[in-house]
Chains A and B, each alone.
Chain A
């Protein structure tokens, strides 16, 4: 074992403090009984109680969830299709241009994406609301899905698809029965990525939102402009909690799968005679 030197301990502490101190403060203050955010006045859970009764927040949370589910699903379908064509489609005319273009939104400033979408929606006379946010989120999260899925497809053994064709599958059946189940983890990661991106997007949503469709980030942002309320701290703590549980369970599942795969492998080798 290596000794833990004071240098290692210090850098570890500083690093984690830098990352997590703001969040820890937020969580602590969400249990503050005082209405003043910066003054500690004892432990209380009353802000959580009030949050449940705040319909504006709840409505916004519902809209956010709706938008996130719809846009990430749409982005996953489109992004997977794009990735499949770019990786598998061979060398068709304009392939390089297309693959470059699909990654452009990754580096495009959000303000510009938001503004151009707004201009488009006004131009075609689409009323701004949940639909326009969904479309906007699909547009920018689709490329993330396509990056994740295409990196999986590149390492995908092509002969699996050929075997499916050889055994009598049509091209679509081969994709549905063989390719999709195997790349499913990447597709799901892509969906989760798109879901999170949509969940916390403020800039593009505020460009494309309408009067009846306020998402949670917009709601929080506008609430904070009138002063930070402990209610928002409580709401943020809940969100941190959900994300933490999600991340931990995802890593536990993947670790368990890895351990199981290794055991299977060893068992197979022992059983081989």
Chain B
């Protein structure tokens, strides 16, 4: 079975569904969104990720029509939507609190949006049944929101916002109120529904794992700006800044000065009296430039003997061991005082741990394991 890779953002002929062009939003003196330009394509599952106060919710509220940009252009399928009120947009939103109408039954909640148009009564009933089936809520149609569980409420909110078949569905922290286990199941459910309905989803979340799981592309935001937009693996393996590397997952950052070593290789002098680290980089660096080497802990091997093959190897002593069940993380202190985290998978049950506290160990990685970053 051959399947075309879904990547409309790489196709220059593809027309974006949503286009932000130099959008700025100010609340008084506070700049919530700062000169933001972004394209989101049809059928995408786009995640806005960032700490609280980074502007991701403001962006979503602008798409829904609850806020208007202070300046800049905002287009939905080629039409400017700034100033169009929320009830006149083919955009629906699923609220963080779900915002289910407590005085209406599950059925009536889902039918609420449909009844606002001049849709035939029978068509409304058919559409509601379809949504109930999609979200496995048929049994609960007659219940009030306070008579169902949190997970069911979440599905009602989803069904209600999908009922009008919007061009774009906005999800504001849709799984924030669910416990971890339920959240993981629901993430896959959400992806299935997104795929089967073909709706474009934009999700706001502060949970990086959630963003990585569900999204086709992730935008990492900070202080009203988008720092990086890329696919989940792009964000994780090729972050464009220390901020992104640090925000997504665990990372070791080693500061130093670079020196070109030819063939896209650079050597990083990171401490006196220590051999430099070797790292490859797609970005050009000049001689003597300051740089940060970002390496994920799982890409660092930890051994008792010095490995012969590895390009980079350095000795240190074990400071801390965090046993997580499936993984163990070792905090290794180098001679210069830096602490490097190395992670190993515990693939064998009942194996004796060969490395323990205070042990002298070697940590090693190859030249392509890390990313060299300017800032």
Instruction: Report if A and B associate in a common complex.
Output: yes
A265 at the interface (CB under 8 A from B): yes
Chain B residues with CB under 8 Å of A268's CB are 143, 146-149, 152
Interface residues on B, range: 20 to 34
B66 at the interface (CB under 8 A from A): yes
A271 at the interface (CB under 8 A from B): yes
B8 at the interface (CB under 8 A from A): no
A200 at the interface (CB under 8 A from B): no
Assess the B147–A267 pair: CB atoms within 8 A.
yes
Chain B residues with CB under 8 Å of A169's CB are 87, 116
Assess the B97–A157 pair: CB atoms within 8 A.
yes
Which stretch in A41-49, A119-127, A159-167 binds the other chain?
A159-167
Chain B residues with CB under 8 Å of A265's CB are 146-147
A50 at the interface (CB under 8 A from B): no
Assess the A167–B95 pair: CB atoms within 8 A.
no
Partner of B85, one of A160, A165, A182: A165
Assess the B112–A164 pair: CB atoms within 8 A.
yes
A55 at the interface (CB under 8 A from B): no
Contacting A at CB under 8 A, from B108-157, are 112-113, 116-117, 143-144, 146-152
Chain A residues with CB under 8 Å of B93's CB are 162-163, 166
A189 at the interface (CB under 8 A from B): no
Assess the B116–A173 pair: CB atoms within 8 A.
yes
Q: Closest residue to A173 on the B side, CB-wise?
A: B116
In the complex, what distance in Å separates the CA atom of A267 from the CA atom of B148? 8
Chain B residues with CB under 8 Å of A167's CB are 87, 92, 112-113, 116, 160-161, 164
Given A165-B87, A178-B101, A181-B103, A261–B146 Cβ distance below 8 Å? yes
Chain B residues with CB under 8 Å of A163's CB are 93, 95, 99, 101, 160
B256 at the interface (CB under 8 A from A): no
B269 at the interface (CB under 8 A from A): no
Given A159-B97, A162-B86, A168–B146 Cβ distance below 8 Å? no
Assess the A162–B147 pair: CB atoms within 8 A.
no
Among A157, A164, A168, chain B packs the most CB atoms within 10 A around the CB of A168
In the complex, what distance in Å separates the CA atom of A261 from the CA atom of B150? 16
Assess the A168–B99 pair: CB atoms within 8 A.
no
Given A167-B116, A168-B113, A168-B117, A162–B99 Cβ distance below 8 Å? yes
Contacting B at CB under 8 A, from A138-189, are 157, 159-160, 162-170, 173, 177-178, 181-182
B234 at the interface (CB under 8 A from A): no
Q: How far is the CB of A161 from chain B (nearest CB, A)?
A: 9
Assess the B95–A159 pair: CB atoms within 8 A.
yes
In the complex, what distance in Å separates the CA atom of A74 from the CA atom of B96? 37
Contacting B at CB under 8 A, from A224-273, are 261, 264-265, 267-269, 271-272
In the complex, what distance in Å separates the CA atom of A181 from the CA atom of B101? 10
Assess the B103–A271 pair: CB atoms within 8 A.
no
Chain B residues with CB under 8 Å of A269's CB are 149
B264 at the interface (CB under 8 A from A): no
Assess the B144–A168 pair: CB atoms within 8 A.
no
In the complex, what distance in Å separates the CA atom of A251 from the CA atom of B95? 34
Assess the B97–A166 pair: CB atoms within 8 A.
no
Chain B residues with CB under 8 Å of A264's CB are 144, 146-147
Given A159-B95, A173-B116, A166–B86 Cβ distance below 8 Å? yes
B64 at the interface (CB under 8 A from A): yes
B284 at the interface (CB under 8 A from A): no
B102 at the interface (CB under 8 A from A): yes
Assess the A182–B103 pair: CB atoms within 8 A.
yes
Chain A residues with CB under 8 Å of B116's CB are 167-169, 173
Q: Closest residue to A163 on the B side, CB-wise?
A: B99
Q: Contact mask B327-361 → A, CB, 8 Å, 1/0? A: 00000000000000000000000000000000000
17 CB contacts below 8 A, A to B, read A159-B95, A159-B97, A164-B112, A165-B85, A166-B86, A167-B113, A167-B164, A168-B116, A168-B117, A178-B101, A182-B102, A182-B103, A264-B146, A265-B147, A267-B147, A268-B146, A268-B147
8 nearest A-B residue pairs (beta carbon): A272-B149, A167-B113, A168-B116, A163-B99, A159-B99, A264-B147, A159-B95, A165-B86
In addition to A166-B161, A167-B113, A261-B146, 18 A-B residue pairs with Cβ atoms within 8 Å of each other are A159-B95, A162-B86, A163-B93, A165-B65, A165-B87, A166-B65, A166-B92, A166-B93, A167-B112, A167-B160, A167-B161, A264-B146, A268-B143, A268-B147, A268-B148, A271-B148, A271-B149, A272-B150
B interface residue numbers (CB < 8 A to A): 64-66, 85-87, 91-93, 95-97, 99, 101-103, 112-113, 116-117, 143-144, 146-152, 160-161, 164
